[in-house]
């Protein structure tokens, strides 16, 4: 099966590969696995006080499409609000990368990883909120 040029480009030059500090309360970490193939994707976001994603990093153990999907997503989420990032649909990734039907689950994995990262960030923020009030 031939990969599209965009997949090959992201695969050869993945954007934003790396790790953010998991303990940082402004960082959300999403870790998801694809039951279909066993691939694993970790996507992290760093969020500013006004709820804008300033940075994003990923690490993916998986196929070319999974790597390309997560690379593309880290580019897309930067500068977006959490709401905007949560609204990104896997079909947009499928279109952008011209993924074939058997690779659609790779884009689903990427969408899920962003949602999981946002969830994690919100959970962390909710957990530290009471302390902030106590201190005030
Ligand atoms: Fe796992 Fe894609 S099937 S690498
Ligand atoms: Fe399973 Fe791509 S994530 S084949």
Q: What is the spatial distance between Cα 65 and Cα 98, in angstroms, rounded to a whole number?
A: 10
Ligand 2 centroid to Cα of residue 9, in Å, is 17
Whether 46 and 53 have beta carbons less than 8 Å apart is answered as: yes
The residue whose CA is least distant from atom 3 of ligand 2 is 106
pTM: 0.89
Alpha-carbon span 95 to 51, nearest angstrom: 27
The pLDDT, as a whole number, for residue 134 is 58
Residue nearest ligand 1's atom 2 by CA: 63
User: 72-127 pLDDT, tens per residue?
Assistant: 999 999 999 999 999 999 999 999 999 999 999 999 999 999 999 999 999 999 99
Q: Establish whether 63 is a catalytic residue.
A: no
What ipTM was assigned to the predicted interfaces of this complex? 0.72
Report whether pLDDT(136) > 60: no
Distance of alpha carbon 104 from alpha carbon 19, whole angstroms: 25
Phi, psi dihedral angles at 128 (to 5 degrees): -90, -15
- Domains in the chain (CATH in brackets) are 5-135 (3.90.1010.10)
Report CA(66)–ligand 2 centroid distance (Å).
Answer: 5
């Amino acid at each position: 099966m031939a990969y599209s040029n965009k997949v090959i480009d992201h695969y050869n030059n993945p954007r934003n590969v790396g790790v953010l500090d998991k303990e940082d309360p402004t960082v959300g970490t999403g870790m998801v696995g694809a039951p279909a193939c066993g691939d694993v994707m970790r996507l992290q976001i760093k969020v500013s006080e006004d709820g804008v994603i300033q940075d994003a990093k990923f690490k993916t153990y998986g196929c070319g499409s999974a790597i390309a999907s997560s690379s593309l997503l880290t580019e897309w989420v930067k500068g977006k609000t959490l709401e905007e990032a949560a609204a990104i649909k896997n079909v947009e990734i499928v279109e952008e990368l011209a993924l074939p039907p058997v690779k659609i689950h790779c884009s689903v994995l990427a969408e899920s990883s962003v949602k999981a990262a946002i969830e994690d960030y919100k959970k962390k923020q909710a957990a530290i909120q009471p302390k902030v009030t106590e201190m005030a």
